[in-house]
Amino acid sequence: MEIDSKVLVTGASGFTGRYLVSELSNYDHIISTLKSDLNDKDAVIAEILAVEPDYVVHLAAISFVGTQEADAIYRVNVIGTTNLLDALSLLPIAPKKVIIASSATVYGNASGEIMETAPLQPVNHYGCSKLSMECMAQNYINKFPIIIVRPFNYTGLGHSKNFLIPKIVTTYRSNKDVIFLGNLDVAREFNDVRDVCRVYRKLLYSSFDNGVINICRGSPITLMNIIDVMNNITGIKMEVKVNPLFVRKDEIKILSGNSRKLEAIIDVTWKYSIEDTLRWMYDIKN
């Protein structure tokens, strides 16, 4: 990847996008951020033709699994991505690589260390929208190189309080001694957004330019272990209660990825432990 390459990031103002732009800014690239609404196809085309990116990382999406607006999920995640790829198809010189962020939720309730070849059986609209997007993107693989990445759970400072880990950290920072959660018998990878963005950058630099890759560590942690870590960090003995309104009937019990393929493509360095991430998010000076 040339040092003066033009890299376009969609969703740059979102949680992951802000950290990815920061990561890429440490290197000599020309970084552009998509300003247009993905559902405004004409505006997207005009902006793409003006920028003429060499590389694209597509992060823009509705990413909260619990949202009830199914039509919005598909409109942004599927149709919006279609508009972007249509616009890229019109460039006089095709992009050298396009990374599209899907999600590990496409695997549904698969158990164990999930490989990229595992059956795809999403159990919610978010996962279904990401799988639909993946299928739609196959229409463009003969036009430019496309990598579909399936990140497993990750978090960090600035993550929306709609998500589990920020909700837990916020409760501790509020000096409460009771937290109300949903399903307690779940285990997830909870990786650090800074590590994930480093993986994105390394994938841009890699020779790999076609296919699906899990972005994962293969180290799930239970929800109650998260509580234990936060108790140790804060000195608070948090009481955990289940709120039936938070319990999802289609909750994925264990979600963890097999990282073998990723490790064969790039040198993966997971710098931050779950305790590092939680301490970073809890630190009131941030």
List the chain pLDDT tens, one digit each, 286 residues.
777 899 999 999 999 999 999 999 999 899 999 999 999 999 999 999 999 999 999 999 987 665 567 899 999 999 999 999 999 999 999 999 999 999 999 998 887 789 999 999 998 899 999 999 999 999 999 999 999 999 999 999 999 988 899 999 999 999 888 999 988 888 889 999 999 999 999 999 999 999 999 999 999 999 999 999 999 999 999 999 998 888 877 677 787 999 999 999 999 989 999 999 999 999 865 4
Catalytically annotated residue among 74, 126, 172, 200: 126
pLDDT of residue 87: 98
H-type alpha helices, 59-112:
70-74, 81-89
What percentage of residues in the chain have a pLDDT greater than 90?
79
Contact 101, 151 (CB under 8 A): yes
| Measured distance CA(231)–CA(217) in Å, rounded | 24
2 burial type by CB count under 10 A (0-12 exposed, 13-18 middle, 19+ buried):
exposed
pLDDT of residue 286: 45
272 is catalytic: no
Q: For the domain 6-156+191-218+255-271, what is the CATH superfamily, name and number?
A: NAD(P)-binding Rossmann-like Domain (3.40.50.720)
Question: What residue segments make up the domains of the chain, in order of their start?
Answer: 6-156+191-218+255-271
pLDDT of residue 183: 83
